[in-house]
Amino acid sequence: MSRFGIIVEGPCDASVYSAMIPRIRPEIADVVARACGGVPALTNRFVGLLKHFQYMDRIDKALVIRDSDRRDPQVVEKGLRDRLDESGFRPTFPVHFYATKSMVETWLLADINAIVKTARGRGHSGSVKPMNRTLEEIIDPKAAFHAMLSQAGLPADPKVYGEIATEADIDIIEGCCPYFLKFREHIHAC
């Protein structure tokens, strides 16, 4: 069993990734998540957080995750990797970088049954309308996801995000969001 550290943009991201990672790799016993408060803060703080992981949290592997903001994810990942190299800090554990093709809400839009189950578990009807378009091409998936949460009577908070991520069928997400396969590959590569 290993401890896995993740550095992400915000608390909702932390909830989703913390729920998804052990489902992809069950041998990961603990996910230590650090939310930064957006892309600029993540870019400026991730090296310091990696140091914290090394000296305080004693993690075995780390993954820095951020949205690509519609840019080429590989370019974004390279920029983060270069920033770590330029810092001079050499972690004693493997560090990987992953830039999503779209926001994490895109994944949560993929499995409507997970949203319905979460809503029903909280005493709501769970009635939602499916998205009839390619999810990874939605310009503002956060607004679309929040509208779906509203239909289901759910708040858009980290706890709900995590519950939906826990219920979501990973294969459905991958079928609707092909770039999710890259995330799974990154988790297995760490």
Mean pLDDT confidence for 70-96: 95
Structure token pair of residue 100: 């999503």
List phi, psi (to 5°) of 172.
Answer: -65, -45
Question: How far apart are the C-alpha atoms of 55 and 171, rounded to whole Å?
Answer: 36
- Residue 137's pLDDT is 82
Mean pLDDT confidence for 69-79: 92
pLDDT(1) > 90? no
- Residue 41's pLDDT is 97
Longest CA pairwise span in the chain (Å)? 53
* Domains along the sequence of the chain with CATH: 2-103+178-189 (3.40.50.1980), 105-175 (no CATH)
Q: What is the mean pLDDT of the chain?
A: 93
Question: Three-state DSSP class for 128?
Answer: coil
- Residue 122's pLDDT is 92
pLDDT in tens, 128-162: 887 777 888 888 999 999 999 999 999 999 999 99
pLDDT in tens, 8-29: 999 999 999 999 999 999 999 8
List phi, psi (to 5°) of 35.
Answer: -95, 135
58: left (phi over 0), alpha (psi -120 to 50) or beta: left
- Residue 172's pLDDT is 94
Question: How far apart are the C-alpha atoms of 180 and 119, rounded to whole Å?
Answer: 24
Question: How far apart are the C-alpha atoms of 108 and 165, rounded to whole Å?
Answer: 7
- Residue 139's pLDDT is 85
pLDDT in tens, 40-64: 999 999 999 999 999 998 899 999 9
Mean pLDDT confidence for 177-181: 90
